[in-house]
């Protein structure tokens, strides 16, 4: 076999075929790498591999066309078939020669992620899973080409057959969708020939999927086996001038195909925990430990209706639903086609959900998880130079929240009535970030925005009142309504905003009964607790409390970030007030108004200051609890990301306390965000020249030189 392997490998590099195969694929790979990796900053090689897929499918037939057809045309195959060498060794030797050429190309691609890693953070696991998956897909395509080359003596026919077969396999998903969007017996059979779906749906997404590996190995084995069958048929003709033995082995081929089908079906029926290994950095295609722990406690049957045609399913959401079904005996997932059952939703809701939405049902309760709720997005804005204002120009998907949304829906339908949060509006309040809103929704808290101008009092069903960083002061009427709510034992979340517009006297009065006063100006820190050498970018001292227990460390390894903070001070001890400060400055901090030239600077107020506090007060009609934070920027998404989500964690811990809930499992969203690769123009030019020019060009020149010298002599 090794002699055949060496002979075949050498033959490809004595002609232009091997050199051109490598040069063409590497040229287009380099071109895509330059665009996606070096210019756009994507740290994923999946974009490059997808970009060269069609070029690869075009080049494989040229590589495989002569492997057996040339031997048959020139009649040199009879020398092979009558030689004292096993037919299987001949086939494997030739096949491995082609695999070696293809592997050489991928070996060069393996250096691409390492190039990107010089200039930024790169998920190496996902990248190399994508490369390995492409290798498995590629050697499968080569095996198909080898088999088709064995069927004919014409290289042209072998090329056309191979390209048509590979192209048909790549288009099979679309063909099946045209036949039936939801699948039938015909499409189930045709999907067996879809050679790209496993590669695109799993490998490029960073998933090691056992049925995908088995599928490609099975196709390779079957093609090699059928190639052997064809060659043995020819060999027997040469040796015995008959086909009796070949006809007798047809039953063996049928049995082999049936065994392969049975093994693939059997492995495909195994639970996902045994067949799927998620290599993605954010574990996008596997359930979080918190979700698995929650599902283990589920003791009521829940049915989840997934509203999607099989041809238009969201792969990530489908993964999540399938995993939940497999991890809990109480959960049943049923796919419902909106095409075949357009009014299925009417039994639960009057509003038609989006495709790929999920209706979660337990008994008489239901909750619709809209498809757009399963993903976090961020509005993209740019300056309109005519108006001078930022305008929305689109949006970017920043995270996957399907797992958290589904767990929240299950918790809702299996639990009691949800707690209600009312958000005060009308004073230029801060609009909460979508990621924080998702966390609140996933905790099954309902939020509603109200303007006190249209209400005589705070609604009676309010479990908590949100007053989030108003920039304009409350009116006396607003103040009296809120005070009446608090005096009756109401709870509130109060966030103080830094503003040049002046102090909000009425708003700050809400804190005084709880022993807190707001100091004028902006807090500056002269201790060590500030960020990036800017004294107003505060990193407060974190006290060890129930709100910060998952963040607090005696060695201060984690942080809370509160830039542009107002300072709060604790008044003298009040007998009916319990005050817990869990975020504070150092004693070297001070509050100043010197940043504003319109304000006469008075003597600065010295620290320490309270930046985050939880307080309760006993009123005649009940006990009121409030939480106070002294910075609106504390709730900004970029600020939260800077400290790894700690700001939102503390906020949710405090909110759960206010709501009287002990939420053991709030499933966090899985971020899509990554640091883009920042490559300077010089490095980009050097690597572009190397990958697009020097390497492909050098291969072409080397091949031409060898071909020319052999032709000359």
Of 122, 18, 367, 68, the closest CA to residue 230 belongs to 68
Give the residue-averaged pLDDT of 590-610.
74
Mind listing the pLDDT tens digit for each residue in 44-58? 999 999 999 999 999
Query: Could you tell me the CATH superfamily of domain 288-416?
Result: Glutaredoxin (3.40.30.10)
Poorest-pLDDT segment among 224-238, 590-604, 620-634, 664-678: 590-604
* Contact assessment for residue 358 and residue 331, using Cβ atoms and an 8 Å cutoff: no
CA torsion, points 470, 476, 479, 481, in degrees to nearest 10? Answer: -130
Rg (CA), the chain: 33
Q: Which residue has the higher pLDDT, 354 or 531?
A: 354
- The pLDDT of 114-134, averaged and rounded, is 92
- Give yes or no for residue 390 having a pLDDT over 90: no
* DSSP H or E segment with residue 159: helix 155-179
Q: Take residue 297 and report the two structure tokens written for it.
A: 């406690």
What phi, psi does 30 have (nearest 5°)?
-65, -40
Where helices occur in 180-278 by DSSP H, the ranges are 185-190, 197-201, 210-240, 244-248, 250-268, 272-275
Lowest mean pLDDT among 5-19, 71-85, 448-462, 470-484: 71-85
> Can you list the alpha helix ranges (DSSP code H) found in 554-645?
637-642
User: In this predicted structure, which of 316-325, 327-336, 533-542, 577-586 has the lowest mean pLDDT?
Assistant: 533-542
pLDDT beyond 70 at 462: yes
- The DSSP letter of residue 345 is G
pLDDT of residue 524 exceeding 70, the answer is: yes
Q: Where are the beta strands (DSSP E) in 310-374?
A: 331-336, 357-362, 365-369
Q: Average pLDDT over the chain, rounded to whole?
A: 86
CB 193, CB 169: distance < 8 Å: yes
CA dist 72 and 608 (Å) reads 90
If you average pLDDT over residues 355-374, what whole number do you get? Answer: 90
Q: Is the pLDDT of residue 449 over 80?
A: yes
Residue 331 has pLDDT above 90, yes or no: yes
User: What's the rounded mean pLDDT across residues 442-469?
Assistant: 91
* Count of Cβ atoms closer than 10 Å to residue 405 Cβ: 26
Mean pLDDT throughout 197-209? 88
The number of angstroms, rounded, from the C-alpha of 372 to the middle of its chain's C-alpha atoms is: 15
Question: Minimal CA–CA distance to 430: which of 244, 710, 219, 629?
Answer: 629
Q: What is residue 664's predicted lDDT score, i.e. its pLDDT?
A: 46
pLDDT at 399: 85
- What's the first-to-final CA gap in the chain, in angstroms? 30
pLDDT at 228: 84
> What pLDDT band is residue 240 in, cutting at 50, 70 and 90?
very low
User: pLDDT value at position 241?
Assistant: 45
Domain with CATH 3.40.30.10 in the chain: 288-416
510 close to 482: Cβ distance less than 8 angstroms = yes
Strands across the sheet with 605-606, in order? 522-524, 590-592, 605-606
- Coil/strand/helix, residue 611: strand
With H, G, I as helix, E, B as strand and everything else as coil, classify residue 393.
Answer: strand
- Regarding predicted confidence, which is higher, 176 or 80? 176
Pairing of strands 534-538, 530-531: antiparallel
**Which has the closest alpha carbon to 676: 42, 25, 23, 193?**
42
In this prediction, residue 173 carries a pLDDT of 82
Rounded to 5°, angle at Cα 42 from 41 and 43: 110
25 pLDDT higher than 50 = yes
Averaged pLDDT for residues 623-640: 93
Question: 3-state DSSP helix/strand/coil percent for the chain, to nearest 5?
Answer: 50, 20, 30
Average pLDDT over residues 1-6: 82
Distance of CA 403 to the CA centre of its chain: 12
Q: Where in the chain is the domain with CATH 3.40.50.880?
A: 417-671
Q: Indicate the pTM of the whole model.
A: 0.69
The fold of the 417-671 domain, in CATH, is: Rossmann fold (3.40.50)
pLDDT at residue 242 in the model: 45
Residue 75 pLDDT more than 90? no
pLDDT at residue 365, as a whole number: 87
Distance CA 262, CA 413 (A): 40
- Cα 320 to Cα 283, 304, 314, 331, distances in angstroms: 11, 12, 10, 12
What is the β-pairing status of strands 357-362 and 365-369?
Answer: antiparallel
Q: 670 pLDDT exceeds 90?
A: no
Tell me if 493 sits within 8 A of 545, measured CB to CB: no
Residue 373 above 60 pLDDT?
Answer: yes
């Amino acid at each position: 076999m090794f002699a055949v392997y060496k002979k075949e490998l050498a033959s490809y590099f004595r002609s232009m075929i091997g050199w051109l195969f490598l040069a063409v694929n590497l040229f287009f790979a380099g071109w895509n790498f330059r665009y996606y990796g070096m210019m756009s900053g994507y740290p994923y090689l999946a974009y490059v591999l997808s970009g060269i897929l069609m070029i690869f499918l075009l080049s494989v037939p040229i590589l495989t066309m002569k492997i057996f057809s040339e031997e048959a045309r020139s009649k040199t195959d009879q020398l092979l078939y009558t030689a004292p060498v096993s037919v299987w060794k001949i086939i494997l030797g030739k096949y491995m020669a082609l695999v070696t050429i293809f592997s050489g190309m991928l070996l060069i691609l393996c250096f691409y992620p390492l190039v990107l890693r010089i200039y930024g953070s790169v998920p190496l696991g996902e990248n190399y899973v994508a490369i390995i998956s492409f290798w498995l897909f590629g050697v499968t395509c080569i095996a198909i080409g080898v088999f088709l080359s064995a069927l004919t003596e014409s290289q042209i026919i072998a090329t056309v057959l191979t390209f048509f077969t590979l192209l048909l396999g790549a288009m099979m998903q679309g063909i099946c969708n045209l036949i039936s969007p939801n699948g039938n017996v015909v499409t189930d059979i045709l999907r067996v020939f879809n050679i790209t779906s496993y590669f695109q749906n799993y490998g490029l997404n960073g998933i090691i999927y056992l049925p995908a590996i088995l599928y490609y190995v099975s196709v390779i084995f079957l093609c090699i086996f059928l190639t052997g069958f064809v060659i043995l048929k020819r060999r027997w003709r040469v040796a015995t001038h008959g086909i009796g033995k070949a006809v007798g082995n047809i039953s063996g081929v049928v049995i082999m195909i049936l065994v392969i089908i049975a093994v693939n079906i059997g492995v495909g029926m195994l639970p996902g925990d045994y067949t799927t290994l998620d290599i993605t950095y954010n574990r996008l295609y596997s359930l979080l430990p918190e979700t698995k722990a929650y599902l283990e406690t589920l003791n009521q049957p829940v049915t989840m209706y997934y509203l999607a045609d099989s041809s238009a399913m969201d792969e990530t959401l489908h993964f999540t639903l399938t995993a939940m079904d497999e991890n809990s005996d109480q959960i049943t997932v049923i796919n419902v086609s909106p095409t075949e059952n357009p009014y299925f939703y009417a039994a639960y809701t009057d509003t038609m959900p989006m495709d790929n939405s999920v209706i979660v049902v337990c008994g008489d309760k239901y909750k619709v998880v809209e498809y757009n709720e399963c993903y976090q997005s961020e509005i993209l804005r740019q300056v309109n130079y005519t108006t001078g204002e930022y305008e929305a120009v689109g949006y970017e998907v920043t995270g996957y929240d399907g797992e958290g949304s589904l767990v929240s829906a299950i918790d809702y339908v299996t639990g009691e009535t949800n707690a209600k949060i009312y958000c005060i509006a009308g004073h230029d309040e801060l609009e909460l970030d979508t990621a924080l809103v998702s966390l609140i929704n996933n905790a099954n808290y309902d939020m509603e925005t109200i303007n006190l101008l249209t209400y005589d009092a705070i609604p009676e069903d309010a479990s908590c009142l949100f007053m989030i960083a108003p920039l304009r002061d409350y009116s006396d009427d607003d103040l009296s309504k809120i005070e009446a709510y608090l005096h009756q034992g109401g709870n509130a979340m109060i966030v103080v905003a830094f503003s040049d517009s002046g102090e909000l006297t009425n708003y700050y009065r809400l804190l005084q009964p709880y022993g807190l006063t707001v100091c004028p100006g902006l807090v500056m820190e002269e201790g060590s607790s500030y960020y990036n050498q800017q004294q107003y970018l505060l990193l407060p001292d974190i006290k060890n409390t129930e709100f910060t227990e998952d963040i607090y460390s005696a060695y201060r390894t984690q942080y809370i970030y509160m830039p542009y903070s107002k300072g709060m001070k604790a008044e003298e001890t009040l007998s009916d007030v319990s005050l817990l400060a869990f975020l504070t400055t150092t004693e070297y901090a001070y509050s100043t108004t010197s940043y504003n030239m319109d304000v006469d600077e008075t003597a600065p107020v010295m620290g320490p200051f309270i930046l985050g506090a939880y307080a309760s007060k006993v009123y005649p009609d009940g006990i009121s609890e409030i939480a106070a934070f002294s910075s609106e920027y504390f709730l900004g998404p970029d600020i939260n990301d800077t400290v790894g989500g700690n700001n939102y964690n503390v906020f949710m811990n405090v909110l759960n306390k206010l709501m009287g809930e002990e939420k053991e499992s709030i499933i966090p969203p899985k971020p899509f965000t990554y640091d883009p690769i920042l490559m300077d123009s010089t490095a980009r030019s050097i690597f572009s020249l190397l990958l697009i020019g020097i390497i492909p060009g050098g291969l072409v020149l080397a091949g031409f030189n060898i071909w020319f010298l052999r032709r000359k002599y």
